[in-house]
Every structure is written in structure tokens, then in C-alpha cells.
């Protein structure tokens, strides 16, 4: 199976992978190409921008969370009708879950997908040294195919010519062009990363990125590099199936500026299992939709504390839903929403739903970050005791208990070391600080939907 594809990797975090990836996606789309975006690693914000640019849902791929088989299968399914795929890397090319092996790195993913790599180098303060850097990255792992270089933050054509000449004199890497520093095409940053695509709204940012790329990047050469990708064998491309539901289960997904961190494949695995997905907004809506399950994803509830607090009718509706035996699955920001209150970065208290006797306190420093294995220590929505799946943690807040809290899971880091408890449980509610990728354990989708009590599920039966 041949699918044109290109991995956009950086020498380090902050080299400009996201800017370059978005610019290439936008410029190629302007050429009339169907571009399928992907993001390496556990990231929710970049894929949102990918989707706005390309008009296609972006998929997360991750060597540690998902493994080779799942990564290849997700790639094959999502790229089937695309002209080419752009896969934005994470951190530096060889950075992953360990300092001594490649698991979870962009390099590992590129090899799993048999994809060529375009290396982004910050060329702002170098000349011939760029050649040494390019050679080092290209030769570090002989099994990896680094095919080209793109320079970021280069202000002039003259400077670019020096960099290009240096690399081409000593390597066989293709130098595809450069990208100028430009505040007009910079997405603002904040404590969990870039501002989301939802907050960006309708702007000409992506058009500017496309124009900038067309002016200084050889897009024909970029497409040639993508077409140089090797073949993927048809074997090992099938995804594990999910058990379909005979009952009609309606899942209400909280989706707005405060709650927007979802893996696309999580939503699609739920739909594949027969769930009817319904979006609603805890910020704007005054009542819940007619659903059997609430899925409260992560996001930035701390930034919208006043609005969430003011929407008393929604908070009361969620609380009543839980008290009446409704099934609620929440992650990170969703967990924070289910506590008694959120204290924002300025220390101001905002009333929340109150399912759990705790407050979520924002810290100005001390981020919790890392890959996580979740293991259930008692039966819960994820499944029986001993059920494991993989995900990650990424938050600045901590919980301050105001009463007894019951946990259903324990957390292990990437090396298998215990790092604490997770999975607050109350009735038919499960709230985790960690974000889970259902693709690491697809049967949890059936477990989650099966947790809906028969008397609460919609009586309609799916059409066959």
C-alpha cells in the first residue's frame, strides 16, 4: 500500500514544527490537495488547528500509547482518500518516553510508518553549523530516513542561501526552503500550549501561513519527498473491533472553549460501538440533551470559571444527572468541573457541579506531565479490576479534598513506576486526571456503554 506521507520533525521543542506543519498543510490545500493531518504524541491543541486548516479531523499517533499495529491501522484508515499526509512530530526528533530508547518518539513513529522525515532547524543564528546539525540528525539512526531540511526563523534570502549551500555541500539532504519570522502568523501561547483553534476563531492566520510557505518553500519538492515514502504492507493494518450495542446509547459530549480536549479516535470508537454522539456546551446551554452518558473531556475550565459558575441551571442538571444514576465519564478539565469549585490562577473561587467533595486549585508552577498507564483496582466504568489502558497527564491544578474521596484506579509512569491514584468514583461517575486513548484498549468502550443501567438506556433498538 503506497500513501504519500511526510513527517515534520524538529531538532528540539520550539524549533517551529507546528508553524511549519500548518503552513505546509495550508499551502498544499491551496494547491487543491486533500491533506490528511496527523499529530505524533498526546496532544489535543495542534490537531484542532490541523482540522481547521485541512477541513479533515486530525489523528493522534503514538508509539508508547498505541504501538505499531494501532498506529499503522489508524494511519491507513484516515489516509485512504487523501492525496498526501502530513504528520507533525513531537518535541525533538529522538525525544520520547526515555533518554536511552526511542519509544514514544517521532523517530520511532516515522519508522513504524515507513515515512520520510523533513527536519525543521531554527536557522536564525547559524551558518555552516547547520550542516553539522543536519548531518548529526540524519546519521544518528541509520534505520530512519531523514530526506530533507527546512529552515525556520530565517530573515533574508541571503542568509538562507548560506544555510542551503552549507547543507548541500556536505550532505545529500534536500533543502526545501525557509520560513521567515512573522508575528502575524504566530499563534499565542499559554500554560498548556498554544491557544486552541476554537479560540482562534475565524482569522486569516492560515491564509497568511499558506502565502508565506508558497513564497519561500519549494512545494513541488515537498510533494516529491512525500511521494518517496516506502510502501506499507497490507498485513498489520487492521484495527481491533469494538463490540456493537443492541441498545441505543446516546452520549452527550461536552464541547466548547472550556471542554475541547478529545482524541478523534475515542469519539469514533464510541460511534463504532453504536453510540449516538450529541454535542452540548456547559458554557452556553441551560439544560442537558436527552442522553444516557455524559463525556466531559479536558480543556480550560479554569479560564471560564465565571461563565461556568453563572450557568447554574447546567451545573444543577449535571448534578441531578449523577444523583439519578446517570453515567458520567470525565477527564482532567471534566474532573475539575465535577468538583465543588475551581480556584483559578488568581485564587478566585468559582462554584462548580459538586459531585466530588474537593476543590481544584490552579498552581502557578509545578506542572504534572507524563505518559501514564491506568490500572483499575476495583470495578468501574473502564472495566473489572485489573483493566489497564494507556494515556497521559498534563495539568497544573491539584485536588484539595473537602471530604472522603474514593479512587478506582492507580497510575503508573512510562517506566511502570507507581505515581499515585486516579479515577474518582461516585455512583456511576468516573473522573480521571489522566487522559486516556481508547485505542490502547478498545474493549473499554463497550465497558463504558454497558455501564448504562438498562432502565436508563433509550428503549429504541438500532436499525440493522
Beta-carbon neighbour count of residue 168 at 10 Å? 15
Determine the 3-state secondary structure of 315 from DSSP: helix
Whether 332 is catalytic is yes
Q: Answer whether 40's CB lies under 8 Å from 106's CB.
A: yes
Give the integer Cα–Cα distance in Å for 130 and 136: 10
Give the integer Cα–Cα distance in Å for 113 and 116: 9
How far apart, in Å, do the first and last CA atoms of the chain sit? 32
- Give the CA angle between residues 113, 118, 119 to the nearest 5°: 120
Give the integer Cα–Cα distance in Å for 248 and 245: 7
Closest CA to 252 of 293, 285, 222: 293
What is the per-residue burial (b if ≥16 Cβ within 10 Å, else e) of 358-380? Answer: bbbbbeeeeebebbbbbbbeeeb
Q: Answer whether 296's CB lies under 8 Å from 315's CB.
A: no
Q: 463: which 3 cell numbers? A: 436499525
Q: What are the CA-CA distances from residue 371 to residues 146, 264, 320, 356, 411 (Å)?
A: 27, 19, 34, 25, 10
Helices (H), 114-156: 129-139
- Chain Cα centroid distance, residue 377: 27
Q: 342: which 3 cell numbers? A: 475551581
Spot the catalytic one: 233, 260, 332, 380: 332
Q: 181: which 3 cell numbers? A: 519570522
Give the integer Cα–Cα distance in Å for 255 and 295: 9
| Pairing status of strand 407-412 against strand 189-190 | unpaired
Question: Would you please indicate which residues are annotated as catalytic (active-site) residues?
Answer: 332
Amino acid at each position: 500500500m503506497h500513501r504519500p506521507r511526510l513527517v515534520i520533525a524538529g531538532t528540539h521543542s520550539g524549533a517551529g514544527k507546528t508553524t511549519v506543519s500548518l503552513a505546509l498543510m495550508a499551502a498544499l490545500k491551496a494547491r487543491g490537495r486533500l491533506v490528511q493531518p496527523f499529530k505524533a504524541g498526546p496532544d489535543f491543541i495542534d490537531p484542532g488547528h490541523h482540522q481547521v486548516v485541512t477541513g479533515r479531523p486530525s489523528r493522534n499517533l503514538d508509539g508508547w500509547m498505541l504501538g505499531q499495529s494501532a498506529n499503522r491501522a489508524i494511519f491507513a484508515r484516515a489516509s485512504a482518500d487523501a492525496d498526501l499526509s502530513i504528520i507533525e512530530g513531537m518535541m525533538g526528533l529522538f525525544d520520547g518516553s526515555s533518554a536511552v530508547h526511542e519509544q514514544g518518539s517521532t523517530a520511532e513513529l516515522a519508522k513504524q510508518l515507513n515515512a520520510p522525515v523533513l527536519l525543521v532547524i531554527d536557522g536564525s543564528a547559524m551558518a555552516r553549523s547547520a550542516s553539522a546539525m543536519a548531518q548529526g540528525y540524519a546519521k544518528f539512526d541509520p534505520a530512519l530516513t531523514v530526506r530533507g531540511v527546512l529552515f525556520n526563523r530565517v530573515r533574508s534570502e541571503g542568509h538562507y542561501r548560506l544555510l542551503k549551500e552549507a547543507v548541500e555541500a556536505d550532505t545529500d539532504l534536500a533543502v526545501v526552503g525557509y520560513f521567515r519570522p512573522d508575528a502575524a502568523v504566530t499563534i499565542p501561547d499559554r500554560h498548556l500550549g498554544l491557544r486552541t483553534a476554537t479560540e482562534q476563531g475565524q482569522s486569516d492566520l492560515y491564509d497568511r501561513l499558506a502565502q508565506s510557505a508558497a513564497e519561500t518553500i519549494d512545494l513541488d519538492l515537498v510533494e516529491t519527498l512525500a511521494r518517496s515514502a516506502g510502501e506499507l504492507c497490507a498485513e498489520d493494518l487492521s484495527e481491533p473491533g469494538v463490540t456493537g450495542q443492541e441498545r441505543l446509547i446516546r452520549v452527550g459530549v461536552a464541547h466548547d472553549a472550556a471542554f475541547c480536549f478529545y482524541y478523534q479516535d475515542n469519539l469514533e470508537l464510541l460511534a463504532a460501538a453504536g453510540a449516538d454522539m450529541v454535542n452540548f456546551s456547559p458554557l452556553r446551554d441551560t439544560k442537558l440533551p436527552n442522553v444516557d452518558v455524559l463525556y466531559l473531556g479536558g480543556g480550560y475550565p479554569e479560564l471560564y470559571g465565571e461563565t461556568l459558575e453563572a450557568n447554574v441551571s447546567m451545573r444543577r442538571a449535571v448534578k441531578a444527572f449523577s444523583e439519578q444514576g446517570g453515567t458520567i465519564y470525565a477527564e482532567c478539565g471534566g474532573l475539575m468541573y465535577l468538583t465543588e469549585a475551581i480556584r483559578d490562577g488568581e485564587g478566585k473561587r468559582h462554584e462548580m457541579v459538586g459531585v466530588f467533595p474537593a476543590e481544584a486549585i490552579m498552581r502557578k508552577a509545578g506542572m504534572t506531565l507524563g505518559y501514564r498507564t491506568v490500572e483499575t483496582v476495583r470495578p468501574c466504568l473502564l472495566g473489572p479490576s485489573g483493566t489497564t489502558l494507556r494515556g497521559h497527564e498534563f495539568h497544573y491544578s491539584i485536588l484539595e479534598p473537602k471530604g472522603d474521596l474514593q479512587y478506582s484506579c492507580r497510575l503508573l509512569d512510562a517506566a511502570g513506576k507507581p505515581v499515585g491514584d486516579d479515577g474518582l468514583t461516585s455512583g456511576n461517575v468516573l473522573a480521571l486526571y489522566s487522559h486516556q486513548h481508547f485505542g490502547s484498549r478498545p474493549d473499554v468502550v463497550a465497558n463504558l456503554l454497558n455501564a448504562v443501567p438498562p432502565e436508563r438506556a433509550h428503549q429504541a433498538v438500532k436499525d440493522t
